[in-house]
């Protein structure tokens, strides 16, 4: 199959310029493919490629015509159904998108592009439990699935109120990928929503020990949980630890807007919970 894709330099351009240049490249590619078809009128792959280009150019009717021609020339070309599904997904014809995706996946059950398109369709239509089944299929099929699929599955479960299930997905990710701060933080968010505050605090304590770069964030979150537990004294102590850790980690960068705002928030929290000096530290 011909592969005439936009050159990587597009990534370096501003979005409007890149978009215009991509359109011009697509139009030029279509002209080239028109010439190829003149010499290879029975090549289904060429029609399939031109149809993809038409889709990129939002010429959906012409794309579907080319896919039909490709199918007539080679009925055994399975990617035609996936190509059609992409077109119907672009124009929000959900039922046809699903129909062609399922037909394609019967022949190519492990195609990640099709599975991702299908799960996105189910989420768009708020069919969250069906989406969860597709995420399970992805995680079970591939030996080393991207961690993003665990996060997406967890987020999807939250969409239909299965917070315990969302946490279970993150725990499975930790078991599969090992200890990682971003997974631990997601687990903490789930535990807080579930009211499992002590479990969240224990996880935060482990993060403090193992991830020194972000200690101030973990102390701050722990303090916020302690406020939920109506323990202002312990909360204030952890706000103080957060402020100290921030100053130790970034002693010369507190003029940066984000860090300055964080420092002011921590100092204000300490003041609100008890006596402090003008620098925001406990006397």
pLDDT confidence tier of residue 256, bands split at 50, 70 and 90: confident
What does the pLDDT read at residue 44?
A: 93
Q: What integer pLDDT is reported at residue 25 of this predicted model?
A: 63
pLDDT score of 182 more than 50? yes
Output the average pLDDT for the chain: 88
Q: pLDDT category, 139, cuts 50, 70, 90?
A: very high
- Comparing 33 with 69, the larger pLDDT belongs to 69
Of 52-56, 176-180, 220-224, the range with the highest mean pLDDT is 220-224
For residue 188 the two structure tokens come to 């903490």
Per-residue model confidence (pLDDT) at position 31: 85
Flag whether pLDDT at 8 surpasses 50. no
CA geometry: angle at 155 spanning 153 and 161, to 5°? 105
Query: Would you state the pLDDT for residue 274?
Result: 87
Q: Which domains occur in the chain, in start order?
A: 168-283 (1.25.40.10)
Range scoring the smallest mean pLDDT among 7-11, 139-143, 267-271: 7-11
User: What local confidence, expressed as pLDDT, does residue 12 receive?
Assistant: 36
Token code pair at residue 49 = 């490629």
Q: What is the pLDDT of residue 29?
A: 82
Residue 252 clears pLDDT 90, i.e. is over it: no
How far is it, in rounded angstroms, from Cα 137 to Cα 128?
A: 14
pLDDT attached to residue 180 = 92
Mean pLDDT of all residues in 85-101: 97
This prediction has a pTM of 0.80
Render pLDDT for 37-58 as a digit per residue (tens, 0 to 9): 889 989 999 999 999 999 999 9
Which stretch of 10-19, 41-50, 248-257 has the lowest confidence by average pLDDT?
Answer: 10-19
Q: Sorting pLDDT into bands at 50, 70 and 90, what band is 254?
A: low
DSSP string for the chain: ----PPPGGGGGS-HHHHHHHHHHHHHHHHHHHHHHHHH-TT-HHHHHHHHHHHHHTT-HHHHHHHHHHHHHH-TT-THHHHHHHHHHHHTT-HHHHHHHHHHHHHH-TT-HHHHHHHHHHHHHTT-HHHHHHHHHHHHHHSSS--HHHHHHHHHHHHHTT-HHHHHHHHHHHHHHH---HHHHHHHHHHHHHTT-HHHHHHHHHHHHHH-GGGHHHHHHHHHHHHHHTT-HHHHHHHHHHHHHHHHHH-TT-TTSHHHHHHHHHHHHHHHHHS---TTS---
Assign 22 a pLDDT band (cuts: 50, 70, 90): low
Q: How far apart are CA 41 and CA 51, in angstroms?
A: 14
Q: For the chain, what percent of residues have pLDDT higher than 70?
A: 87
Query: Once rounded to an integer, what is the mean pLDDT over residues 16-41?
Result: 70
């Amino acid at each position: 199959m011909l592969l005439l894709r936009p050159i990587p330099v597009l990534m370096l351009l501003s979005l409007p310029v890149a978009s215009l240049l991509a359109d011009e490249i697509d139009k030029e590619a279509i002209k080239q493919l028109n010439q190829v078809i003149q010499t290879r009128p029975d090549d289904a792959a060429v029609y399939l490629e031109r149809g993809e280009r038409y889709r990129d150019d939002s010429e959906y009717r012409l794309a579907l015509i080319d896919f039909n021609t490709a199918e007539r020339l080679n009925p055994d070309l399975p990617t035609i159904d996936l190509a059609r599904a992409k077109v119907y997904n672009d124009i929000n014809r959900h039922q046809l998108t699903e129909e062609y995706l399922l037909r394609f996946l019967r022949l190519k059950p492990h195609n990640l592009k099709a599975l991702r398109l299908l799960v996105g369709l189910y989420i768009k239509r708020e069919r969250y439990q069906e989406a969860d089944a597709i995420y399970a299929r992805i995680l079970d099929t591939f030996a080393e699935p991207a961690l993003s699929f665990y996060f997406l599955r967890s987020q999807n479960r939250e969409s239909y109120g299965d917070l315990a299930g969302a946490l279970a997905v993150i725990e499975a990710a930790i078991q599969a990928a090992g200890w990682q701060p971003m997974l631990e933080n997601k687990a903490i968010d789930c535990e807080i929503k579930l009211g499992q505050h002590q479990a969240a605090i224990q996880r935060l304590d482990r993060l403090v020990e193992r991830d020194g770069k972000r200690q101030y964030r973990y102390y701050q979150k722990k303090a916020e949980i302690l406020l939920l537990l109506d323990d202002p004294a312990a909360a204030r102590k952890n706000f103080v630890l957060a402020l100290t850790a921030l100053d130790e980690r970034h002693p010369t960068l507190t003029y940066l807007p984000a860090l300055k705002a964080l420092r002011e928030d921590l100092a204000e929290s300490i003041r609100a919970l008890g006596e402090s000096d003008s620098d925001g530290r406990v006397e």
